[in-house]
Chain A
Amino acid sequence: MSRKYVIINSDEVSSVNFDQVDETSESTLRYSLDGSKTFVKFDTDATPSFLDGKTQYSHSEILTILATDEWTDPNPPGE
């Protein structure tokens, strides 16, 4: 079993069952910089039904995606 990550559109958040994902609540989700996307993760082998048909990413894959300008400020504070 390994943790899986799925990107969803922001307007799909209402369909998320937070008992089936690791995210604590809607208010703790991380969104893309333009606010159009977010993601959830789950540890079980069984994919939550509301995520059926969506692309699943591994940890290293989602880190690569989240490091892009779409998700992370290219000019972060300090560095």
Chain B
Amino acid sequence: MANRRISSLSSLGGTPNTADIIPITDVSDTTGSAQGTTKKVTVANLVAAAPQGDLLAANNLSDVANAGTSRTNLGLGTAATTASTDYASAFYNIVTKTTHYTLTNAENGKVIFCNSSGLIDITVPSGLTSGFNCRVVQGGAGRVRFLTSGTTINGYTSGSNAPNAVIGQHGVADLVPTGTNIYSLHGDINYLLVYSNVNSVNFDGTNDYFDPSSAISFTGVYTLSMWFKQTTDALGILAFGGSAYIEPSGSNGRVLVSGYSGGIHSATNSYTFGQWSHFMIARNSSNAVEAWVNGVSAGTGTNSGTATFSKFGIYGTSVQPFGGDLDEISLFDSDQSANIATIYNSGVPTDLTSLSPVNWYRMGDNDGATGTTITDLGSGSNNGTLINGPTFTTNVPS
């Protein structure tokens, strides 16, 4: 074939014949008879020299010595273990929890989707990776409570008798780091008081008493509930106001309700000296009054007009003050007679929040059992003072 210019050659088809060659001339070679050395390059040479294979073909990740490490290093998680295009599990941002759960670093940056009709505790432990953050969502009807374990959630406490941070159904809260083991919560946060009764107040029977800042008065329906353990004298006063008083007599286990009821006197041995007992009195809209001792009706009476409770534990100077322990004093501007079984609770104080007390004196449980102030947890915000040295104790009804 006569020499032809390259530009005069016909073009190849879509696929060259493997036997086709491309001539390469080394023009720097001047030693030959004809200047330059010419070699041939076949199509097979080109295929061998070119990069080849896709991600999941022969020379991909599955061929490396430690495929698991490779996937981890690439942030693929459990993805790419097969020739699949579904990488969702590696980048999935939502994890579902239906029971109490302690966060781990695996939840960093993710959404914790809670789904339960009951309470779910999400505990934030110490030692999570720096910058740990997550979003918590409640899809179920129950509440999600945030607890700490070696950590601090700014503005919130964690545990019993303290305002715990919670979210309700459809609530969303972001847990954001603000320091080492310190976080802030932002979102649909509410408070939840986790009830626990571990303190009461001891009155020495000489001159101790509890004095609400303002006398508590009712012109209509009302209820008084309180727990007492009489230990130091046969007589004493549980509550007093105006000319009315409630007087337990340890010598015969009877409780006299005078002034508040027209005179109710419980049966002999309705309570036991030296043991925790519960007393409740309620007036309904017809001015009918009923008293209960340890959940059992002590009698009925009638009383109208203003009923006042100004002091607890003392009557005046001529009557022996109460000697023993008082706990969980609560007053309602409602007739709670239908709830006597709930309030008495088989002899164990219970959370009264749902009954909406006007005054609720926990007698140390929400005051750290220190100082002389008893905070009113009811809607009345009528704090009281321990007068003449009553002391906190861990002796409680149980």
Q: Could you list which residues of chain A lie within 8 angstroms of chain B, going by C-beta atoms?
A: 3, 5, 22-24, 28-31, 33, 39, 41, 43, 59, 62-63, 66-67, 72-73, 76-79
- Could you say which residues of chain B place their CB within 8 Å of the CB of A78? 245, 247, 249, 256, 258
Least CB separation from B246: chain A residue: A78
Least CB separation from B389: chain A residue: A22
B318 in the interface, Cβ–Cβ < 8 Å?
Answer: yes
Number of interface residues of B (CB under 8 A): 24
Q: Could you list which residues of chain B lie within 8 angstroms of chain A, going by C-beta atoms?
A: 204-207, 232-233, 235, 245, 247, 249, 256, 258, 315, 317-321, 323, 372, 385, 387-389
Q: Is the interface of A mostly helix, strand, loop or mixed?
A: loop
Known contacts A62-B206, A78-B258; A23 and B319 CB within 8 A of each other: no
Checking B205, B235, B385 against A76 with a beta-carbon cut-off of 8 angstroms, the contacting residue is B235
Min CB distance B301 to A, Å, is 14
- Could you say which residues of chain B place their CB within 8 Å of the CB of A76? 235, 247, 318-320
Checking A22, A59, A62 against B388 with a beta-carbon cut-off of 8 angstroms, the contacting residue is A22
Min CB distance B76 to A, Å, is 69
A41 touches B206 (CB 8 A): yes
- Could you say which residues of chain A place their CB within 8 Å of the CB of B317? 30-31, 33
A72 touches B319 (CB 8 A): yes
In the complex, what distance in Å separates the CA atom of A24 from the CA atom of B385? Answer: 10
B389 touches A23 (CB 8 A): yes
- Could you say which residues of chain A place their CB within 8 Å of the CB of B320? 66-67, 72, 76
- Could you say which residues of chain B place their CB within 8 Å of the CB of A28? 207, 387-388
- Could you say which residues of chain A place their CB within 8 Å of the CB of B319? 72-73, 76-77
- Could you say which residues of chain B place their CB within 8 Å of the CB of A30? 206-207, 317, 321, 388
A77 touches B258 (CB 8 A): yes
- Could you say which residues of chain B place their CB within 8 Å of the CB of A33? 317-318
In the complex, what distance in Å separates the CA atom of A29 from the CA atom of B249? Answer: 24
Min CB distance A58 to B, Å, is 11
